[in-house]
Amino acid sequence: MKIVTQVSDLVSGCAFVPTMGALHSGHQSLFTLAAKKSESVMASIFVNPLQFENPDDLARYPRTPEQDAELAEEAGVTHLWLPLYEDIYPPGFKKLSAGPLGDIYEGASRPGHFDGVVTVVSRLFELVRPQFAIFGEKDFQQLSLIKKIKSDVEIVSAPTVRESDGLALSSRNTRLDAQSRLQATVISRALHAALAADNLASARSVMREVIESESSFTLDYAEIIDEDDFTEATESTLRPRVIISGWLNGVRLIDNMAMRSRAQI
Ligand code: PAF
């Protein structure tokens, strides 16, 4: 694996996996998917200050450079790019707006977050010029916004990787203490409860019951949306998706699952 530090050494036409480091098996699955798309697999590690609305969150974001390099190499990354802030944000760079979808759900709780995400991803695409870019479904709203970025890059989505008890893998999970780690399954339990319900009204109600049973979880939102436009799903929605977010002991967790559409039955 080649460590790339110069923009001139980037490999265009590759399969690209942008990350913020603290790599785990979820990222590994993105690298594996990238390796199926191209012989050149480029990963970047850049903790993007523009997408952190809270300076403490940015300061506490886990940074594990040595383990990251090992995991990337083992997972088939051929080029690991460690951009400098100035590579991504030269003087006078233009911050992009994520538009109205950037202001709801995650965006409502994290003002400016998605503007930062679309800005960095557009800039990374401009510099790398990959053929494919792989993103996880776990950050579903992020994935939807990235698909709206105007570029020639083919966006490939990858399924969420979970621990055996259902918790979606996330770099933030390392900040959960032992008790919060056990309580964190409340999200996947609520998602599964919604998926098992007979109709959307009971899905919404069982999901809330599960969430309320875990008093340490502070709910931000739990909703069933039409994944095409993030409006509230109805029984005739073709692609309903349950999205949940909240905090456990100060750690923000998010997750989602696609529901079977009753409109297609
Ligand atoms: O999902 C992430 O890790 C980040 O939001 C991304 C896409 C690498 C942009 O900084």
* Token pair in block for residue 169: 């893998």
In this structure, the chain runs to a length of 265
Please list the pLDDT of the chain residue by residue as tens digits (265 residues). Answer: 999 999 999 999 999 999 999 999 999 999 999 999 999 999 999 999 999 999 999 999 999 999 999 999 999 999 999 999 999 999 999 999 999 999 999 999 999 999 999 999 999 999 999 999 999 999 999 999 999 999 999 999 999 999 999 999 999 999 999 999 999 999 999 999 999 999 999 999 999 999 999 999 999 999 999 999 999 999 999 999 999 999 999 999 999 999 998 786 6
> In the structure, which protein residues have their CB atom closer than 6 angstroms to any atom of ligand 1?
18-20, 48, 51, 117, 120-121, 139, 142
Catalytic residue among 27, 79, 113, 192: 27
79-81: strand order across its sheet: 2-4, 79-81, 41-45, 15-19, 132-136, 154-158
113 is catalytic: no
Domains of the chain (ranges plus CATH)?
2-158 (3.40.50.620), 171-256 (3.30.1300.10)
Check: pTM over 0.85? Answer yes or no. Answer: yes
In degrees to the nearest 10, what's the CA dihedral of 136, 140, 145, 147?
A: 50
Contact 116, 88 (CB under 8 A): no
Among 16, 17, 20, say which to mutate for ligand 1: greatest number of ligand atoms within 8 Å of CB: 20
